[in-house]
Amino acid sequence: MTATLQRYQVRMQRVLDHIDAHLDGDLDLDALSAVAAFSKFHFHRQFSATFGVSVHRYVQLARLKRASRQLAHGPEASVTEIALDAGYETSDAFARAFRQRFAQSPSDFRKSPDWEPWLRALAPFNIARSSLMPTTFSPDQVTIRAVVPTRVAIFEHRGDPDTVDDTVRRFIAWRRAAGLSPKTHPTFNVWHSERRPADPADYSMDLCVGLGPDQELDTGDGTARIGEIPGGRCAVLRVEGDTHDLEPAALYLYRHWLPASGEEMRDFPVYCQRFFLDTPALGTAAELFLPLR
C-alpha cells in the first residue's frame, strides 16, 4: 500500500470512528467532511466510492444497529427513548424505519428478534466496515489445534459466487425449518475453490450445520446431505468483528504462515466455523482452519 493511499484510508477510518463515537450528535455532511478534511462537495461521493454505501444510509444503519442492540438485550429503555437516541423525532418515524429495514416492529424485535432479515439489512453496513479492515496478521495469532471429527449436514453452493447471498438465505430458511438453531448446532463453511475462480461456474462452497453423533435428519428431498468434517491437526486463525470477507485471513495462512511454519497441508480444504458473540447484535467471529498433516 502506498503512503498516499494509507493516509487516505486513515482519514476515512477517522470518519467511521467519529460516527461510532457521536451517534447521538450531529452527523451531517458538513460535520463529517470536516472530520475527513475533504471538500463537502465531494465527500459524499468519496464515501460512497470507498464504502459502497452512501454516508446517509451508513449513519442510519449504524443508529438502527445500536437501537436493535438496545432492544434485544440492553437496559429497559422505552421505544420512545431508543427512537430519540437513534435520531428520530417521534417513535412512529423510528418504528417505520425499523420495520422497513428489519421486517419487524421495534416491540416485536424486543420480544423475539428475527436475526435473518436483521443480518440481511445490515449487510451494506458490515461490508463498509470490512473495506478498511486490516488485512495483515502475525504468526502469534495462529495456533495449532487437534480437531475432532464433526458430523454435519451439508448445503451446497455451486456456481457464480455473486449468487451466494441467495444460497445463504435459502440455507437459513432450511436450517430453521429443520430446527437446527445456531445456538445448539455450529455453523461451518467449507471452500472447495478459490473465492473468484477464472470461470465463475467453478466456484464451490458448502454451508454446513454440525449434528450430534446419532442425530437423525430427513434428507429425502435432496436439499442437504450428511457428511463429515474430518478430525486432525489444524492451524487456526480467529477473526472477530466483521467476517464478511475472510479471504485476507485465508491468504495469510496459505501465503505466509504455512511456508514459514515447516508444516504441510492435509488433503482437505480450508474451512471456517462461524460464531455469534452471544447474539448477532454483539457482532460475529470466525475461526479459519487449515488442515495439517
The string of pLDDT tens digits covering residues 79-105 is 999 998 888 889 999 999 999 999 999
Q: How many residues does the chain have?
A: 293
Give the start-to-end residue ranges of the domains of the chain.
3-130, 139-291
pTM of the full structure: 0.64
Q: What are the residue ranges in the chain where pLDDT is below 70?
A: 1-2, 74-75, 133-135, 241-242, 277-283
Residue 266: predicted pLDDT: 93
Residue 222, H or E segment = none
The Cα–Cα gap between 234 and 274 comes to 16
The CA-based angle 248-282-117, given to 5 degrees, is 85
Residue 129: predicted pLDDT: 80
Count of CA atoms in the C-beta half-sphere (13 A) of 80: 1
Q: Name the packing angle between helices 55-73 and 40-51 (round to 10°).
A: 60
> 237-277, pLDDT tens digit by residue?
998 866 777 888 898 899 899 999 999 999 999 999 998 76
Our CA dihedral for 12, 130, 3, 11, rounded to 10 degrees, sits at 10
Third-level CATH fold of 3-130: Arc Repressor Mutant, subunit A (1.10.10)
Third-level CATH fold of 139-291: Multidrug-efflux Transporter 1 Regulator Bmrr; Chain A (3.20.80)
SS3 of 213, please? coil
Residue 278: predicted pLDDT: 58
**Nearest to 280, CA basis, from 246, 242, 249, 236:** 242
Residue 41: predicted pLDDT: 82
